[in-house]
């Protein structure tokens, strides 16, 4: 099974990938190798499986649509397929499943600021605060006379708040699981699996308020500490790692990291499936790896650990042990 690419993977990309597999399924082009690839894709994370199930439900609904605009036209190639997809989406937007898919995936498409897979972005906001968006991230900005809120829809964001005179309303990062209030600070918020989020404080402090917890259960997190939280509560505090923001400079710093964890991190910055074989998953590696050229990074890793790169396609890559005759 390939390593999990992490929840920071672009959900819009997941929807596109699910549609691609659905087209192959309908065209009868899922041979044994492709079925294996599809299963690996579905196994990567709960979000992948949910995207596939939603695509299947949508396929069943579209089977009731007249053939000239239905799913059967998706087997055509080139421009005809693109027109068919647009037609299908027009019809699909009237279905409950499409509404659900929009609720899950569309919030990122419609976000005020977003990054694609492998992209990073820096913005200076109207109040002078700065944000850095990591790969596959999306945020909306809500500034009013009584509120300064950054709605982090998905991904990872570094925030540096601005000082003002007279004082502005407190700046908060809002996620599905709750709110992170800046207390004059510089901090990182990252989406994890299972509706959990990680917060790391680089300067000053933040106050974390889970969405389904009482106000007196809010937790203050000081400089140099990090924690995880969900809608019900906040986890234990741990020392933060300054290297967690090295992505801002386009690098990933690994310190005695398991290969399976390293490939999962790198997978966040490239499209497709990246993983490692089970027999090499627990190998340890340290180094500074470039994020803007993941192919070069993978070559460096394989040279360091005496591995080989197995490419089924450009977008399906596995690091494996070298065979005896290689």
pLDDT per residue over 21-46, tens digit each? 776 765 566 777 788 888 888 888 87
113-242 topology per CATH: Jelly Rolls (2.60.120)
Q: Is the pTM of this model over 0.85?
A: no
State the pLDDT at residue 83: 41
State the pLDDT at residue 6: 40
Could you tell me if 114 and 137 are in contact, meaning their C-beta atoms sit under 8 angstroms apart? yes
Please write the tens of the pLDDT for every residue from 42-80.
888 877 887 787 776 665 544 444 433 333 333 333 344
Going 28 to 4 to 12 to 52, the CA torsion angle's sign is positive
Q: Has residue 297 got a pLDDT over 60?
A: yes
- List, in sequence order, every beta strand (DSSP E) within 67-160: 113-114, 121-124, 130-133, 138-143, 148-154, 156-160
Q: Give dist(CA 300, CA 235) in Å, integer.
A: 36
Place of tokens 């190798």: 33
User: Please, what's the b/e burial string for 276-298 (b: 16 or more CB within 10 A of its CB; e: otherwise)?
Assistant: bbeebbebebeeebebeebeebb
Could you tell me if 290 and 296 are in contact, meaning their C-beta atoms sit under 8 angstroms apart? yes
Rg of the chain's alpha carbons, rounded to an integer? Answer: 22
250-321 topology per CATH: Phage tail protein beta-alpha-beta fold (3.55.50)
Average pLDDT, the chain: 81
Query: Which of 60-64, 98-102, 143-147 is the least confident region?
Result: 60-64
Please write the tens of the pLDDT for every residue from 11-20.
666 777 777 7
Boundaries of every domain in the chain: 11-109, 113-242, 250-321
What are the residues facing 205 on neighbouring strands?
Answer: 183, 222
* Count of other CB atoms within 10 angstroms of residue 28: 8
CA proximity to 153, closest of 170, 133, 124, 183: 133
More reliable by pLDDT, 84 or 311: 311
Q: For the purposes of burial, counting CB atoms within 10 Å of the CB of 256, is it exposed (0-12), middle (13-18) or buried (19 or more)?
A: exposed
State the pLDDT at residue 226: 98
Q: Can you read off the two tokens belonging to residue 149?
A: 């809120």
Query: Which of 158-162, 186-190, 192-196 is the least confident region?
Result: 192-196
């Amino acid at each position: 099974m390939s390593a999990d690419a992490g929840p920071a993977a672009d959900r819009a990309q997941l929807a596109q990938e699910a549609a691609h597999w659905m087209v192959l399924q309908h065209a009868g082009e899922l041979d044994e190798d492709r079925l294996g690839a599809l299963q690996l894709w579905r196994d990567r994370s709960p979000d992948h499986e949910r995207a596939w199930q939603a695509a299947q439900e949508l396929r069943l609904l579209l089977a009731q649509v007249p053939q000239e605009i239905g799913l059967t036209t998706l087997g055509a190639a080139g421009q005809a397929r693109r027109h068919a997809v647009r037609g299908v989406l027009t019809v699909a937007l009237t279905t409950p499943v499409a509404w659900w898919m929009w609720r899950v995936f569309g919030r990122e498409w419609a976000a005020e600021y977003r990054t694609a897979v492998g992209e990073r972005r820096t913005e200076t906001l109207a109040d002078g605060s700065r944000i850095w968006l990591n790969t596959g991230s999306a945020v909306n900005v809500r500034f009013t006379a009584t509120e300064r809120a950054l709605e982090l829809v998905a991904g990872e964001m570094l925030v540096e708040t601005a000082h003002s005179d007279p004082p502005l309303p407190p700046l908060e990062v809002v996620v599905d699981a709750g709110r992170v209030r800046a207390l004059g600070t510089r901090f990182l918020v990252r989406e994890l699996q299972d509706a959990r989020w990680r917060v790391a404080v680089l300067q000053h402090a933040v106050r974390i308020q889970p969405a389904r917890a009482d106000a007196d259960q809010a937790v203050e997190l000081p400089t140099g500490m990090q924690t995880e939280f969900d809608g019900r509560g906040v986890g234990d505090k741990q020392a933060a790692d300054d290297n967690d923001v090295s992505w801002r400079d386009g690098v990933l710093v690994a310190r005695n990291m398991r290969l399976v964890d390293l490939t999962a991190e790198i997978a966040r910055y490239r499209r497709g499936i990246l993983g490692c074989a089970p027999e090499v998953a627990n190998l340890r590696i340290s180094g500074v790896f470039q994020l803007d050229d993941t192919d070069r990074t993978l070559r460096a890793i394989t040279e360091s650990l005496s591995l080989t790169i197995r490419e089924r396609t450009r977008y399906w890559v596995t690091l494996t042990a070298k065979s005896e005759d290689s």
